[in-house]
Amino acid sequence: MSSPISYSHDGAIAVITVDNPPVNALSQPVREGLSKAIARFEGDSKAKAAVIVGSGRTFFAGADIKEFGKPLAAPGLPGVVNEIEACSKPVIAALHGTALGGGFEVALGCHYRVAVASAKVGLPEVNLGIIPGAGGTQRTPRLAGVEAAAGLITSGRHVGAQEALDLGLIDEVSNDTDPTAAGVAFAGLITGNDMGPRPTRDLNDKLDEARKQDGLFDGLRAAAAKKARGQLSPLVCIDAIEAAVTAKDFDAGLAEERRLFDTLMASDQREALIHAFFGERAVGKVPELETGNPREVARVGVIGGGTMGSGISIALLTAGYHVTMVERDDDAIAAGKARVEKTLEGGVARGKVSGEQRDRMLADQFHGTTSMNALAQVDLVIEAVFESMDVKKDVFGQLDKICKPGCVLASNTSYLDVNEIAAMTERPQDVIGMHFFSPANIMRLLEIVVAEKSDPDVVATAFAVAKKAKKVGIRSGVCDGFIGNRVMGKYLRVAQMLVEDGATPYEVDEAVVGFGYPMGPFSMSDLAGMDIGWATRKRKAATRDPNERYASDWMDRICEQGHYGQKTGRGTYTYPEGARKGEHEPETLKIIEEVRREKGINARNFTADEIMERYMAAMINEGAKVLEEGIALRPVDIDMVQLFGYGHPRWRGGPMKYADMQGLDKILSSIRKFESEDAWFWKPAQLLVDLVERGETFDSLNKKEIS
């Protein structure tokens, strides 16, 4: 196999080019090729300086993540970077695309760095549960100072070329768009001025400055801990940067960085975060995309300008679509438009959108109407009217008559049967569910609900729109609540049972937050409005299975008193004077005790671990049922739904990955234990039983062919 690294000359400049598509990851052959090229340059009397550059779309985008978790084949990256730095003649990195992680560490080992204006650099290792492991934590503070380095490394953010220049991370932003030309020109400047190598390891001024600052690392640790929410790597990043300042020399700091890197590489968090990295990309690979071709979409109709319709409109406008919003009457369309305007205004205030962008969106791309006929020429309609089958059927009946042939007809329904909605039209093949999450302009999850007759082209169109709107599209089959809300229904019920049995709602929320969710289920229902769940329970009361345990009386009673959560100032929590963070409400505890007394329940204590054992077991068991019914294609789809729509901590990888890491036998034995208390609710999923019998994991199902 030919090497992915080539070596050529441009006059007196050696050009070392990597060609390892798609992102020039630093896999073993790349590291080996780079090491050999550097050795060749050292002995190359014709070359006065060398440029390292990426071909294709980017400089090295980092270590090859696929190699993680396996024994690393020599040469290791830190050694290769040291070889570059030790060169007796100048080596220049010419950056374009995304120079990330190990890729940027190669650049930091070079003596000079030039970037094309569109280049981005960064050290995103923290997001994979590790720290930069090829000198990034030692060289970045030497160039940019400790505080800037800590900001960069603990956030993993990508920095544009100009900011990188301002921070001292690179030496020049070139006007050239071709990185090789930029690198060779810069190298000419270096040799022309007789400038020699400038090893980053020898730059100590910024470290000396840090040594004079008392309490610097305490402050950095406190800031990192606040954002980390249970994730280990941000704090370990600080440890490694501190080693740059305190170690006896550069090599000792580098050795400490490697020790910390290796510890994290062996952690569950690293495994979970890598699962999330590949999971985010895997969910886009669905059978329909193998045959389906996306239809062209430029104009979209959104029906309903309420919470969801307005959020969806903003997401689509931001993605560049033309949006026609349709509402029931003049007041409603005025309110819908006002919601869009207000949110965009907020975006401008927070610097997310420019005033100019906002004006363009509102003037050129967006218009509101009360006439469905305005949808005659749109390419896609997303319906976001009330969650009522009758209302939705009426809307789809009208759309069938109005919309042009080939228009994709999507419903944003949360629970309703998309097959039944599709049957209202003469073109069920064009109907699909596109289930956004609130706030739709922010939340990344978009469940793409494939109905029985949805055409593969229609599925492909929904995925293409998701991608353009920067959403994570995840395929779901049709069932009550699809993947996300169906699974959520189960763990919310467990949360209510836990309260009836003895936990306080505050203990449940604390346990869930302690696990890593941003919010517990009861704070969440206070935020969304307790009346929503109450209405659903009332609607389903008549058809509820008599064997099903009903543990929502205490919530119903709170609602009966007119307390629905934040919007009424009281729910499970109380919100004095419009506070957004709730305080414990003694009345809630009284109501709970009253219900327990009436039902003859002897309250018992639950530790946070016991709460989470039940909460996660319910999530996993229902996830397994969703899988065995074919509603979700693979376990990873359920994981990503939880991550992108429900706040599951990314560093735990999602419920199915969590189950694998805990051991499926352990999860099943918990479920069996609970089954003895409530056989109806806790019936184990057959798939889970089968996997345990075969000694397999959920992950083994991710690896199966999708078609």
Question: Token match 């075969």: residue?
Answer: 694
Q: Applying CB under 6 A, which of residues 306, 406, 489, 569 lies at the interface with ligand NAI?
A: 306
**Out of 189, 391, 423, 519, which residue is the one contacting ligand NAI (CB under 6 A)?**
391
Element (H, E) at 17: strand 13-18
Nearer to ligand NAI, 482 or 682 (CB): 482
- Which residue among the candidates 83, 85, 125, 705 is catalytic per the annotation? 125
Does residue 163 contact residue 236 with C-beta atoms inside 8 Å? Answer: no
Q: Kindly state the smallest distance separating residue 385's Cβ from ligand NAI, in Å.
A: 4
Q: Does the active-site annotation cover 125?
A: yes
State phi, psi for 689 to the nearest 5 degrees: -60, -45
Q: CB nearer to ligand 3HC: give 24 or 552.
A: 24
Can residue 71 be called a binding residue for ligand 3HC (CB under 6 A)?
A: no
Closest to 657 in 3D by CA, of 54, 129, 240: 129
Where in 397-416 is the site for ligand NAI (CB under 6 A)?
412-414
What are the φ and ψ backbone dihedral angles of 54, each rounded to 5 degrees?
-100, 145
- In this structure, is the dihedral angle defined by the CA atoms of residues 653, 654, 660 and 663, taken in order, positive or negative? positive
DSSP 326: E
**CB of 485 vs ligand NAI, minimal distance in Å:** 8
Q: What is the DSSP string of 295-325?
A: PP--EEEEE--SHHHHHHHHHHHHTT-EEEE
Which residue lies nearest ligand NAI, judged by its C-beta? 306
For residue 513, the minimal CB distance to ligand NAI (Å) is 21
Q: Give me the catalytic one of 85, 105, 147, 585.
A: 105
Q: Could you tell which of ligand 3HC, ligand NAI, none binds residue 91, using a CB distance below 5 to 8 A set by kind?
A: none
Determine which residue in the list 387, 400, 420, 678 makes contact with ligand NAI, applying CB under 6 A. Answer: 387
Positive/negative CA dihedral, 377, 382, 385, 389: positive
Tokens of 610: 């016991």
User: Cβ 381 to ligand NAI, closest distance in Å?
Assistant: 11
Burial class (CB in 10 A: 0-12, 13-18, 19+), 2: exposed
Q: Which of residues 322-361 bind ligand NAI (CB under 6 A)?
A: 326-328, 332
Q: Which of 50, 65, 237, 448 binds ligand 3HC (CB under 6 A)?
A: 65
Which residues in 17-56 contact ligand 3HC (CB under 6 A)? 22-23, 25
**316 scored as a contact of ligand NAI (CB under 6 A):** no
Q: Which of 630, 639, 600, 644 is nearest to 706 (CA)?
A: 630
Rounded Cα distance between 43 and 662, Å, is 53
Asked whether 50 and 41 are in contact (CB, 8 A), the reply is yes
Stretch that binds ligand NAI, among 120-128, 203-211, 298-306, 420-428 (CB under 6 A): 298-306
Among candidates 140, 58, 159, which has minimal Cα distance to 103? 58
Q: Give the binding range for ligand 3HC (CB under 6 A) out of 126-134, 247-255, 324-332, 608-616.
A: 126-134
Helical spans, DSSP H, in 319-383:
330-349, 355-360
Is 441 in contact with 314 (CB distance < 8 Å)? yes
For residue 279, state whether it binds ligand 3HC (rule: CB under 6 A): no
Beta pairing partners, 476: 449
Residue 124 makes contact with ligand 3HC by CB under 6 A: yes
Task: Considering only residues 440 through 469, tell me which ones interact with ligand NAI, judged by CB under 6 A.
Answer: none
Assess whether 105 carries a catalytic annotation. Answer: yes
**CB closer to ligand 3HC, 233 vs 476:** 233
Asked if 100 touches ligand 3HC (CB under 6 A), the answer is: yes
Q: For binding to ligand 3HC (CB under 6 A), which residues are involved?
A: 22-23, 25, 61-66, 77, 98, 100-102, 105, 124-125, 128, 132-134, 136, 281
Residues identified as active-site: 105, 125
